[in-house]
Structure 1
Amino acid sequence: MTLLSASDQRVTECNMKDRTQELRQGKDPEEVDEVAVGIEKGFMDEFFEQVEEIKGFIDSLAERVEEVKINHGAILASPNPDEKTKADLEELMTDIKNLANKVRSKLKNIQQTVEQEEALNHSKNPSADLRIRKTQHLTLSRKFVEVMTEYNATQSDYRERCKGRIQRQLEITGRNTTNEELESMLESNNPSIFTSGIIMDCNISEQVMNEIETRHNEIIKLENSIRELHDMFMDMAMLVESQGELINNIEKNVSSAQEYVEKAKEETKAAVKVQKTSRTGDMIDRIEYNVDHTVDYIKDALFNTKKAVKYQSKAHRKKITIIICCVLLGIVVASIIGGVLS
């Protein structure tokens, strides 16, 4: 994926702001906010794609550094290593240099974008997106420096081991050298400086001469490689060191956040347990209350039922009395009518 240049990114940001302004003039505020959030989300999605790409490059660097270590061991184990092993080592070193430059360039682009936005944003509280990008940039930079530091240490260790082999071979021939003398000879970049005096002093075997020259050539290649990456390494190391306090604060905040999350989880569990207990108690209280009231209702119902039965009995007796009275009254009336007719 191709990264935007600094100028392209500025144009994109301006277009985003202009577009948002146009939307605000003719759209509902909520709809405009949704569109603006969508634009910002798309921008952050692209940023995270860049982050994943850089992570992949750094992982590839780490893998190649491990392969370099293996090749170093193979070359040191043989007095005259085969050409394929040496060619593989040179190819790995070239790949590391190219990948490192690519990572550095991408990190520089992100850094420039962050710095430009910080310059435009004069508020003391930067946006969440800006903080995320800054944190990601610092995290990637530190990881990159860690891998390159390991590579530098690997190269330095290999140089010392090659130098030790040269010194032992010289001792075999009877030519003892101090560390300072050997360093001076290595800095000459002339392999013959090790063998010219020896050939005059004794009949040294060609194998010893070849090994001395091989180790010296390896050291020259190493120094060239270290020199090529030195400026880049120092640049990134200084960046990480200057931002070290911020990274430590980020780690502290993350650690604190994790502690707060764990504490909150425990407190939530306790609260749920208490809530469940509380709810159970409330339910029992409500049941007891309802039972008590039900008993009262039953008592009232029984009392009212008894009263109703009593009233019903009295009404029944009154009804019978009225019927009897009506019958007697009918008989009396009939008798009177019969007497009159007679």
Structure 2
Amino acid sequence: MVRDRLEELRQKSNRNSKVKDLLIEVEKDPFQNVFNIVQEITKGIDKISENVEYCRRHMKQMSETPFRERELSEKLTEIFLQNGNTTHAVNSTLKQLENKVKNGDKLCALGRIEAVQYNTLRTRFRKCLNENNEELQNFKNFRINTYKAQLRAKGIDVDDEDISELLLSKEDVQIFTDNLLVETAEAKRLLSEAEELNEQLLKIENLIQEVRDLFVQMSVLVEEQQELVDIVEYQTQQAVDFVERIPKVLRKAKENKIKAFKV
């Protein structure tokens, strides 16, 4: 009696299919891993750029509507702090991609993809950081002018050097008011606002310093990666030259084939 092996064949087919799927997944994994990293970095850069544009609009509103200055400045400080966190996250992920480029095979397809993506994203990130830093500096200058105006309202005359010293030393605004008797409710309110503004300026100054540090790190990376960039450019040119030679190679092969048949 012939045994019905249909179910057995089905099970074997399913097992082979699973093994095949697994092999395909393993083969795709290195490329997919790079694409996931690239997507994560791109998403972070886009978020920073969106926030910078948002800050530009609100800076304009703050100039045009002084009565909303406090509300808008608090919102802007929050956005810049978010950008600071996103910047650190992007920089960390970018370092992962950098390590892949350094430790991988620079001449294989995956290595070239990693190198090109890394250099492209690093350039975008630097541009994004620069724009963020410009708006942060504009915001800082705007708030410093407000700060000086509030101090002058209490009879305290300070110049840019005094403000810079205050921010560098991270001192409290009280160093300017030690000799004042704050007795009226209005004077107390003005002092309180000045202290809040001082705290905000310290946060801004810290963010600016963090961005500067990142620029220094990335400048070092540019020098370290120049050799890699040269290799990628060389490989690209070699590929272009090879593609241009293909028609000649094919014609030569055809001629040799014809000669072989004649013989």
Q: Note if 1:127 corresponds to 2:108.
A: yes
Identify which of 42, 60, 66 aligns with 1:78: 66
Identify which of 117, 120, 125 aligns with 1:139: 120
Distance in 2 separating the partners of 1:252 and 1:107: 24
Which ranges of structure 1 fall in alignment gaps of 5 or more residues? 1-35, 259-263, 265-342
**After the TM superposition, which residues 217-228 of structure 1 pair with which residues of structure 2 at under 5 Å, given as runs?**
217-228=199-210
**After the TM superposition, which residues 1-342 of structure 1 pair with which residues of structure 2 at under 5 Å, given as runs?**
42-74=29-61, 77-78=65-66, 81-82=69-70, 85=72, 87-118=74-105, 126-171=107-152, 175-186=156-167, 187-197=169-179, 199=181, 205=187, 208-240=190-222, 242-243=224-225
The Cα of 1:190 is off from its aligned counterpart by: 0.5
Report how many residues are paired: 216
Tell me: higher relative CO, structure 1 or 2? Use CA pairs within 8 A at least 6 residues apart: 2
Distance in 2 separating the partners of 1:52 and 1:166: 41
Classify 1:168/1:38 alpha carbon distance in 2 versus 1 (closer, same or farther; 3 Å): closer
Distance in 1 separating the partners of 2:74 and 2:185: 31
Classify 1:142/1:204 alpha carbon distance in 2 versus 1 (closer, same or farther; 3 Å): same
Could you say which residue in structure 2 is the equivalent of 1:9?
Answer: none
Q: Which amino acid aligns with 2:122?
A: S
Classify 1:139/1:176 alpha carbon distance in 2 versus 1 (closer, same or farther; 3 Å): same
Classify 1:41/1:91 alpha carbon distance in 2 versus 1 (closer, same or farther; 3 Å): same
The Cα of 1:78 is off from its aligned counterpart by: 3.2
Distance in 1 separating the partners of 2:30 and 2:132: 34
1:43-95 CA deviation, whole Å, 9 max, x = no partner? 32442233223212210111112223344455565367455x45533442343
Distance in 2 separating the partners of 1:243 and 1:213: 45
The Cα of 1:161 is off from its aligned counterpart by: 2.1
The Cα of 1:192 is off from its aligned counterpart by: 2.2
Which ranges of structure 2 fall in alignment gaps of 5 or more residues? 1-22, 245-263
Classify 1:194/1:67 alpha carbon distance in 2 versus 1 (closer, same or farther; 3 Å): farther
Alignment partner of 2:104: what SS? helix
User: What is the CA RMSD across the aligned residues, in angstroms?
Assistant: 4.1
When Rg is computed on C-alpha atoms for both structures, the one with the higher figure is 1
CA contact (8 A) 1:162 1:216 kept: no
The Cα of 1:39 is off from its aligned counterpart by: 5.9
Q: Which amino acid aligns with 1:212?
A: A
Distance in 2 separating the partners of 1:248 and 1:161: 43
Q: Which amino acid aligns with 1:223?
A: E
Alignment partner of 1:189: what SS? coil
1:120-139 CA deviation, whole Å, 9 max, x = no partner? x7xxxx12321221111111
CA contact (8 A) 2:37 2:97 kept: no
CA contact (8 A) 2:115 2:229 kept: no
Alignment partner of 1:154: what SS? helix
TM-score by length of 2: 0.62
Classify 1:165/1:251 alpha carbon distance in 2 versus 1 (closer, same or farther; 3 Å): farther
Distance in 1 separating the partners of 2:229 and 2:220: 14
TM-score by length of 1: 0.50
